[in-house]
Amino acid sequence: MTTTRYAPVAHAPSDQELTHSRINPQGYLIPKGAGILNNVYTVCSDPIRYPDPRRFEPERYTNDLLSFAETATHADPDTRDLFTFGAGRRICQGMHVAERSMFIAISRLLWSFEFQSIPGKEPDPAAIAEGLACMPAKYTCDIRAREGKAELIRGIWDEAQSALDDEGQWKDLPRTMAA
């Protein structure tokens, strides 16, 4: 959860334009035909909702056992804690795929490697790279294969490389990917 809140991806405006003008609760007029853009970064950086929002703190979610979908669609808007996949009727239908893919990727990285900051070169949690996607600014860290994992990782890497051509594309489509 922290990963998606800390550095959310930019959203495209909804392709569903408003069919009539609306005045929202803050008194702003939203004209007919306007596209709506959910400012996910600002919502996810709200210090009232997330004290010290730029601090990477996975412990915020220690007792949160809800899935991305359950959290994003929670009936109580004050409890709703995930806006990365949109909101309301335009919410991402593939968030469950993203959640499971992130779990697999992060689990494999943590199983394979040890990550350590370099003394005197710790990343600044407030430093954000500029661009369409929100991400931490570049920083250096020490990444080492966990004990007993290096040889296995190299073997898997070599096997994967043998399946790719010089441009990094599959030589033959894997059976599990064939339609």
Domain that holds residue 19: 2-177
Could you read off the pLDDT of 18-50 as tens digits, one per residue?
666 776 768 888 787 777 777 788 888 889 888
Judged by average pLDDT, the poorest of 9-13, 70-74, 86-90, 154-158 is 9-13
Q: Please give the structure tokens belonging to residue 150.
A: 């290096």
CATH of the domain at 57: 1.10.630.10
> Taking the mean position of all CA atoms in its chain, how far away is CA 152?
28
Residues 6+ apart with CB under 8 A from 24: 30
Write down the pLDDT at residue 13. 55
Could you read off the pLDDT of 144-165 as tens digits, one per residue?
999 999 999 999 989 989 889 9
Give me the mean pLDDT over the 83-102 stretch.
84
CA distance 80 to 65: 13
Q: Please give the structure tokens belonging to residue 166.
A: 């010089």
Number of domain units in the chain? 1
> Is 40 buried (19+), middle (13-18) or exposed (0-12) by CB count in 10 A?
buried
- For residues 98-137, b (16+ Cβ closer than 10 Å) or e, as one string? ebeeeeeeeeeeeebbeeeeeeeeeeeeeebeeeeebebe
